[in-house]
Amino acid sequence: MTHLDFPTWVSYVILVAPTAVILPIAVPRLYAHLRLKTKGTKAAGTCRSSYFAKGSFVLHYSYEDHKGGLHFRRAKSDDFGLTADEGETLPVVFDPAFPRVSRTQTELRRLLPWSPVSTGTWAVAQALCVFLAGARGIG
């Protein structure tokens, strides 16, 4: 095993860096995803527009909440099969406590609220950092 010349504390920084960078971004999305799965209310949404750009399918939809408020959202899909034509009805789930927070039911079928490519990129970066930190000889 290679012994790199940097202090042990640098190894710990390298070890936690990918998670520390991603955590502030991931936690709110994960919280919203799980909250919608457990406390969400189903509604009928309407596709406003849909197009394919930069390798992803983009869908704009609107829905009416339980108080009659109209909300608009954009969903971007690179791999979870979210497709619709303009004017088509979509099954939507929104949070009654925060009606602006919504996802299509297709999005909520996923285990995680982001694509496997993003998860894989993070996992590879984390594995590389574990290797670099381990090369220093933590422990």
What integer pLDDT is reported at residue 3 of this predicted model?
A: 55
SS3 of residue 37 by DSSP: helix
State how far the Cα of 84 lies from the Cα of 104, in Å rounded to an integer.
11
What integer pLDDT is reported at residue 75 of this predicted model?
A: 87
What integer pLDDT is reported at residue 80 of this predicted model?
A: 59
What integer pLDDT is reported at residue 20 of this predicted model?
A: 86
- What number of other Cβ atoms are within 10 A of residue 25's Cβ? 10
Residues in Cβ contact with 43 at an 8 Å cutoff, skipping those fewer than 6 apart: 63, 64, 65, 92, 93, 94, 102
Q: Which residues of the chain, if any, have pLDDT below 70? A: 1-6, 78-81, 117, 135-139
Using one digit for the tens of pLDDT, what is the confidence trace for 77-108? 766 567 788 999 999 999 999 999 999 988 88
What integer pLDDT is reported at residue 69 of this predicted model?
A: 94
What integer pLDDT is reported at residue 1 of this predicted model?
A: 43
What integer pLDDT is reported at residue 6 of this predicted model?
A: 67
Q: For residue 110, which of 25, 38, 33 has the smallest C-alpha distance?
A: 33
What integer pLDDT is reported at residue 66 of this predicted model?
A: 92
Burial of 14 (0-12, 13-18, 19+ CB in 10 A): buried
Q: Is 22:55 a contact under the CB 8 Å cutoff?
A: no
Question: What DSSP designation does 110 have?
Answer: S
State how far the Cα of 111 lies from the Cα of 114, in Å rounded to an integer.
9
